[in-house]
Amino acid sequence: MIRKHSKISIIGAGAVGATTAYSIVTQKLVSEVVIIDVNKDKAEGEAMDISHGLVAMEATNIHAGEYSDIVDSDIIIITAGIGRKPGETRLDLAKKNVGIAKDIAANIMKYYNGGVIMVVSNPVDIMTYVIQKESGLPAERVFGTGAALDSARFRYLLSEKIGVDLKNIHGFIAGEHGDSQFAVWSSVHISGMSLDSYCKKYNICIDREEIEKEVIYSGAEVIKRKGATYYAIASVVSELCNAILKNKKSIYNVSTILDESYGLDRICISTPSIVGINGVEKSILFDFSDDEFEKLAASVKQLKGMIDSLGI
């Protein structure tokens, strides 16, 4: 049920921003959606196109706007930025998109009066770090989609390999939303049964290394075939919006300032977090295995190196 008035502002009218807007409207999450883009005609066109289908959906006020229209937003979603090209890593984008992130943060804070900022633009961990730092907002108020998409891909692939509904498969990807991410195999279970136990009982053989590689490179494979990825991330963003708006306190692997209890550099990276009306309500200190913790530390080191080289 839509609250009396609820509002989401989306900065960026590219494929990800437009598909996210469409997903939010079709799921009837809010009463108002604002699309903001430097290309005003593009933002207006996307809003018009979605509006023309409202006869089959819940009444939603979807329109193009300016930064001043973010006032009273429950959620501000940032999808703007230069997209990743075939053969380019997410980290290769950093030098191009950091300046854009700083400009977006400055414009948001001219009008910001509350709400959660969700960063989708890549490289999402670095973009989230920059926007949180530049905005000066509490860390919980700014988070990135991070490895939430990778975790969805991970569960899907496991479902395909095992032959079980992915809703009954639990497990996640941690670390960078990029090449240094890793599967947290110690977290995987099928309706409460450990992965090893399930596979042993039913004579299923899984190539863990192959699955991890598929997760890491699946985005690049989609880009190679169709030029961009947007359906899957739009679905993940909508799910996160639902958790925020309904204060569900659901657990997702999103990119936020790393809990100091891990004893690693305080950068934005994905570990399990509780997501609710205030954004990241709490970071969960997960019991990583020794091997997994080493991979987390390596991922942190890689991102910290990029942050240092960018002077941010």
Which residues are tagged catalytic?
A: 177
Quote the tokens at residue 184.
Answer: 């947290």
Provide the 10 A C-beta neighbour count for residue 242.
15
Q: Is 264 helix (H, G, I), strand (E, B) or coil?
A: coil
| Residue pair 237/187 in contact by the 8 Å Cβ criterion | no
Place of tokens 């975790």: 151
- φ and ψ at residue 184, rounded to 5 degrees: -90, 85
Q: How far apart are CA 81 and CA 132, in angstroms?
A: 16
| Residue pair 131/119 in contact by the 8 Å Cβ criterion | yes
| Residue pair 142/124 in contact by the 8 Å Cβ criterion | no
Q: Is 96 helix (H, G, I), strand (E, B) or coil?
A: helix
DSSP strand E in the chain: where? Answer: 7-11, 32-36, 61-65, 75-78, 116-119, 142-144, 169-174, 182-190, 193-194, 250-257, 268-276, 279-283
Peptide bond into 86 cis (omega under 30): no
